[in-house]
Structure 1
């Protein structure tokens, strides 16, 4: 029996659904276990792999199975995501607080799955399977707790706490709401905030609709939207950690999208530090604002003749 056939049997007996017992799932398991065609399963070992340069390269080099580059997302979404949920793989075990969309994202066979798989085709296999089934619920709970411990807490003005997924981008977003707004938009309300895991983590649909912002097209909004009702000012803020400041093109897009909005619009690019800001200075549109998390008491005005405020 070939290794790919054995891998698919292992996945079936570990309790994976039919959709994750297919060929691509089997090859992914072989890559995570670092098992070649003539290796014994007892030789499996744990090593972190990225998707493209790790798992797909291993499959290509050792099984001569070539997958197109766009298969990366298929492996990530339809195989590895389910492996993690089932306790078979660990996500970012070397750097648990990596942001969700980090290019350094990696996977490794879990310790309990490795221990179980190494006993395949031995007299201990059934006992190992029972042990896996017994322990996996505990491991899932532990994984969930560890993931939550890495999250970024964001306290809203009414005392509610949102838990943002880990990463620098969301650290900037939390600082915008807690630090920027308290200094430069006092008395304002959070209308919208996205998240790298959840694009609509927070939304005040009623107020957005009242001031003329379409509530069914969140993908067009910037990362954060804050509204200061006393002045009728709308703060549209992009949190910038690698790309995406308020460029002239982005301003035109937002002006078109917000054509029916009755509030005065203020466009802001928020950066974690001065180093990141300097990388994007040539992209930032005039008549916008810059706020840097590293220096929360200050702002940089790209407005020329005036300080912060909308240009009606």
Structure 2
């Protein structure tokens, strides 16, 4: 097997993310180990190495040329992740120092030296098994970090998590801060997530209320239903786009033309400065809620109290 293929196989065995199994990452490891195509694996070394040295080694020995201005790309795509996964270490110098260097860790050097040409990497490779047993995989580390970053939210008394980000931060505030104040005892019929699009989608109730669910892509960010008043709240969570402007109202009206419940249109913002950016686009007969000021609402419908517009 080609050395590049064997290194890629090795990175897959230790469960590096796919983006860290790229040719750039494989060439970087070969350069750090000073392994030419004809060099035996057991001759691998872990000398201190600059990224410039990696670029030169790869060009001279594998005819793969990376420009000098790609050093930051190599640092971000390979070095940072390799260090987190304990494949390499640095010499502790400042990153902008001309003396800043990297090298393979002694543990991973043993794994490299245990490899063979023209052979697949066995799961029974003792050095590989030892390394895997002593070091958590980078994929697991990143998955744990993503899980920690997720935002817990209770929707209809069921625990969910939102992916990180301002849009979901605002949706969480709508569920936890807006609904108890202005949609008391309401049920969430729909809310999306920036990754998991239909986090909550109660299509049975939506259909029974008269929604045309074939127009699913027109659904607002959050839909709440207050049964005691037979009110529906259509809420757009706006951080950069998508307020309740006249065109958006028409789209929702078309989707809900068979709905007889009272309809309340709300645009939610994280803060007042974001609201000001969209204030001239908001449709009349709608409401505004700002998460920074959760006790208050701005009414653009002329009525004293919140409620569906009377036709």
Provide the rounded CA distance (Å) in 2 between the counterparts of 1:198 and 1:210.
24
Structure 2 matches for 1:35-114, cutoff 5 A?
A: 40=34, 62=67, 108-109=81-82, 111-112=84-85, 114=87
Alignment counterpart, residue 183 of structure 1, candidates 175, 181, 184: 181
1:29 and 2:25 aligned: yes
Provide the rounded CA distance (Å) in 1 between the counterparts of 2:198 and 2:304.
33
Mark the structure with the bigger radius of gyration.
Answer: 2
After superposition, the Cα gap between the structure-2 partners of 1:38 and 1:180, relative to the gap in structure 1 and judged at 3 Å, is closer
Provide the rounded CA distance (Å) in 2 between the counterparts of 1:249 and 1:309.
21
Instruction: Quote the residue 1:223 is aligned against.
Output: 221
After superposition, the Cα gap between the structure-2 partners of 1:21 and 1:149, relative to the gap in structure 1 and judged at 3 Å, is closer
Provide the rounded CA distance (Å) in 2 between the counterparts of 1:278 and 1:131.
58
Q: What does the per-residue CA deviation read over 1:41-69, in whole Å, with 9 as the maximum and x for residues that have no partner?
A: 756789xxxxxxxxxxxx9953999xxxx
TM-score normalized by the length of structure 2: 0.66
Unaligned runs of 5+ residues in structure 2 are 36-45, 52-63, 71-76, 90-102, 116-124
1:123 and 2:128 aligned: no
Instruction: Quote the residue 2:148 is aligned against.
Output: 149
Alignment counterpart, residue 13 of structure 1, candidates 10, 13, 18: 10
Instruction: Quote the residue 1:199 is aligned against.
Output: 197
Q: CA deviation at 1:145?
A: 3.5
Contact 2:232 2:262 in 1 (8 A): yes
Provide the rounded CA distance (Å) in 2 between the counterparts of 1:135 and 1:208.
51
Q: CA deviation at 1:40?
A: 4.3
Alignment counterpart, residue 271 of structure 1, candidates 250, 257, 269: 269
Provide the rounded CA distance (Å) in 2 between the counterparts of 1:60 and 1:256.
57
CA RMSD of aligned residues (A): 4.1
Contact 2:221 2:237 in 1 (8 A): yes
Contact 1:199 1:219 in 2 (8 A): no
Provide the rounded CA distance (Å) in 2 between the counterparts of 1:36 and 1:249.
57
Q: What does the per-residue CA deviation read over 1:257-297, in whole Å, with 9 as the maximum and x for residues that have no partner?
A: 22222222211111111111112222222221110000001
Contact 1:11 1:21 in 2 (8 A): no
Aligned length: 253
Provide the rounded CA distance (Å) in 2 between the counterparts of 1:120 and 1:278.
60
After superposition, the Cα gap between the structure-2 partners of 1:179 and 1:60, relative to the gap in structure 1 and judged at 3 Å, is farther
Provide the rounded CA distance (Å) in 1 between the counterparts of 2:295 and 2:225.
20
After superposition, the Cα gap between the structure-2 partners of 1:185 and 1:113, relative to the gap in structure 1 and judged at 3 Å, is same
Unaligned runs of 5+ residues in structure 1 are 47-58, 66-87, 91-106
Contact 1:153 1:162 in 2 (8 A): yes
Instruction: Quote the residue 2:237 is aligned against.
Output: 239
Provide the rounded CA distance (Å) in 2 between the counterparts of 1:263 and 1:236.
12
Provide the rounded CA distance (Å) in 1 between the counterparts of 2:24 and 2:259.
49
After superposition, the Cα gap between the structure-2 partners of 1:38 and 1:150, relative to the gap in structure 1 and judged at 3 Å, is closer
Provide the rounded CA distance (Å) in 1 between the counterparts of 2:189 and 2:113.
60
After superposition, the Cα gap between the structure-2 partners of 1:280 and 1:226, relative to the gap in structure 1 and judged at 3 Å, is same
TM-score normalized by the length of structure 1: 0.66
Instruction: Quote the residue 2:60 is aligned against.
Output: none
Provide the rounded CA distance (Å) in 1 between the counterparts of 2:215 and 2:24.
36
